[in-house]
Structure 1
Amino acid sequence: MDKQAEVSAFLTSRRARITPEQAGLPFYGKRRVPGLRRGEVAQLAAMSVEYYARLERGNLRGVSDSVLDALCNALRLDDTERDHLHALARAASTGPARARRRPKPTPVRASVLRIIEGLHDQPAYVRNHRLDILAANPLARALHAPVFESEAPNTCRFVFLDPRAPSLYPDWERVARNGVGVLHVEAARNPYDRELCHMIGELSMRSDAFRRMWGEQEVHTYTKGTKRFLHPVVGELALIHETLDLPGDGELSIAVYSAEPGTPAADALKLLASWAATQNQESTAAPADSEH
């Protein structure tokens, strides 16, 4: 991936979304382009216009944390965006000679598998930083049934490449943007991850929507929130999701979904669990039946 182009696109997009009024600067007349001018960002960050222009061209090599923090303040970046800019700067300071292949994927530990399998009434799965699903309990497989039809299930690939995704996710646009935002963060943190770069390239080639959203430079991290599903068996569910990081496990995390007690979503989740159990019994009995 072109690291300088990523830096330039990110800074340019952040500058374009801030008006002089928002930044507390005087505003005179009409402007041909939205947002702040380079000189105004430089003024807010207490640096020369020439120096800021160098940064916006994508050259962050050797930039100090204090300069980055001043730039973050000038561009009114949130915590995720601040971390992203610092990650881009670290990547810029790592030359090709220092690039290293990522270690082999860490297998999901047996104790982690027991945790998600023990959550009988909550869909739970383990994923990596590329949004590959590495393990899941039966309820998660039932909830994301179309996603698991792939030999290598990946939520972002499903969202952009499978025509059934908008039917499963009523808020498809938001889900899609969140997925792109996660990949943006990971691309900055792991610029030499070949599989990640290949995935981003594949999605850019095969999906106009992904290519458009990628160019908008939004960044996102999964922590918590509400996600709506339109399941073909139990109908609509609005589920609360939490992401639990597994430090030391190769950037793996557990995604857990739950429903507020006494809500229609809780009833639908119970029905889904019953349906999943029935499906599992049928699939287990099928080989035995075929012998007779």
Structure 2
Amino acid sequence: MAADTVREDIRTFLTSRRARLTPEQAGLPDIGQRRVSGQRRVSGLRRSEVAQLAAISVEYYTRLERGNVRGVSQEILDALSAALRLNDVERAYLAALVRAANASHRPADRDGGATHVRRRLQQLLDAITGGAAFVRNAHLDVLATNTLARALYRQALDTADEPPNLARFVFLDPRARRFYRDWDRIAHDAVGSLRTETARSPHDTDLADLIDDLATHSPDFTDRWDAHHVEYYRSGLQHFHHPDVGDLDLDYDALEIPADPGLTIVTYTMSPTAPSAPAFVGLLEGVT
């Protein structure tokens, strides 16, 4: 990621976070502002209001919002993060962008685009027989699966791309909108994960190529990318419609692998008493 790109990402991120907050949400009185038809001229907080909340000058905040973060202290970043009500993921994203902007030389990216897994990881996946499990990299490439994951994700894996990529499936394959019953949330999370990775690995050309390809072929991706949302895909409930067994509501957990930075194990399981348990059992029986 070029220096100009990093500065632009900082600018658009801070601007978007400022725009989403009202004075009331930030704990400021909404008084003395020029209004048109009862509405503030500015969407969200003004720069002066962010500066007030962060206890810095308007001039300094303006400099930061323009991407000039050279030498900014952690104390200032903490104050700015608090002023903008950033969550933990957003704080980490901003910190990564600032590190990239302040780097005196090009740092080595982590291997977020790894294409192979260790034999022991495949053994671990194969040992999981009561749930679906796969390993993906930070580009959302699926690198290894167990038997049930292959059955669950057979449409996403049915591609000429090697390795299969979940973001491409979500945005470029029409089957994804039926497979994911909550497609909007999945699309939101996929973009947020890729956006987060761009700050972690700002010089990853393969990641940049993936993003360019998705933006070229999917207006839905572009709209979400421009919103500058960031996300960690960690844990929750995911709703599928499987072409063979129907609706499935599966608990998922995404576990980063310390020994293999950039790789994540994703598992899908279900309580035996869940309403869609019979469908999940049917999928299990179909692969045993």
TM-score, normalised to structure 2, is: 0.92
Tell me the residue number matched to 2:106.
Answer: 98
Query: What letter corresponds to residue 70 of structure 2 in structure 1?
Result: R
1:222 aligns with 2:225: no
Percent of residue pairs identical: 49
Tell me the residue number matched to 2:59.
Answer: 50
Tell me the residue number matched to 2:20.
Answer: 17
Q: Name the SS of the counterpart of 2:239 in structure 1.
A: strand
Instruction: Please list the CA deviations of residues 137-165 of structure 1 after superposition, one character each: whole Å capped at 9, or x if unmatched.
Output: 11101111111112321111100010111
Residue of 192, 212, 218 corresponding to 1:207: 218
Q: Distance in 1 between matches of 2:110 and 2:88?
A: 26
CA deviation after TM superposition for structure 1 residue 98, in Å:
2.1
Tell me the residue number matched to 2:50.
Answer: 41
1:6 aligns with 2:9: yes
CA deviation after TM superposition for structure 1 residue 102, in Å:
5.7
Q: Distance in 1 between matches of 2:119 and 2:163?
A: 20
- Given the superposition, is the C-alpha separation of residues 133 and 190 from structure 1 closer, same or farther in structure 2, using an over 3 Å criterion? same
Tell whether the 8 Å contact from 1:125 to 1:137 is kept in structure 2 after alignment: yes
Tell me the residue number matched to 1:173.
Answer: 184
CA deviation after TM superposition for structure 1 residue 265, in Å:
2.4
TM-score, normalised to structure 1, is: 0.91
Written as runs of structure 1 = structure 2, the 5 A alignment for 1:72-111 is: 72-95=81-104, 97-100=105-108, 105=114, 107-111=116-120
Runs of 5+ consecutive residues of structure 2 not aligned to the other structure: none
Q: Name the SS of the counterpart of 2:120 in structure 1.
A: helix
Tell whether the 8 Å contact from 2:256 to 2:262 is kept in structure 1 after alignment: yes
User: Would you say how many aligned residue pairs link Structure 1 and Structure 2?
Assistant: 276
Question: Rg larger in 1 or in 2?
Answer: 1
CA deviation after TM superposition for structure 1 residue 99, in Å:
4.3
1:263 aligns with 2:267: no
Residue of 147, 150, 153 corresponding to 1:144: 153
Tell me the residue number matched to 1:163.
Answer: 174
Q: Distance in 1 between matches of 2:122 and 2:16?
A: 41
Tell which deviates more after alignment, 26-35 or 120-129: 26-35
Tell whether the 8 Å contact from 1:121 to 1:269 is kept in structure 2 after alignment: no
Runs of 5+ consecutive residues of structure 1 not aligned to the other structure: 278-292
1:191 aligns with 2:202: yes
Tell whether the 8 Å contact from 1:106 to 1:249 is kept in structure 2 after alignment: no
Instruction: Please list the CA deviations of residues 98-135 of structure 1 after superposition, one character each: whole Å capped at 9, or x if unmatched.
Output: 24466683731222111111111200000111111100
Tell whether the 8 Å contact from 2:115 to 2:143 is kept in structure 1 after alignment: no
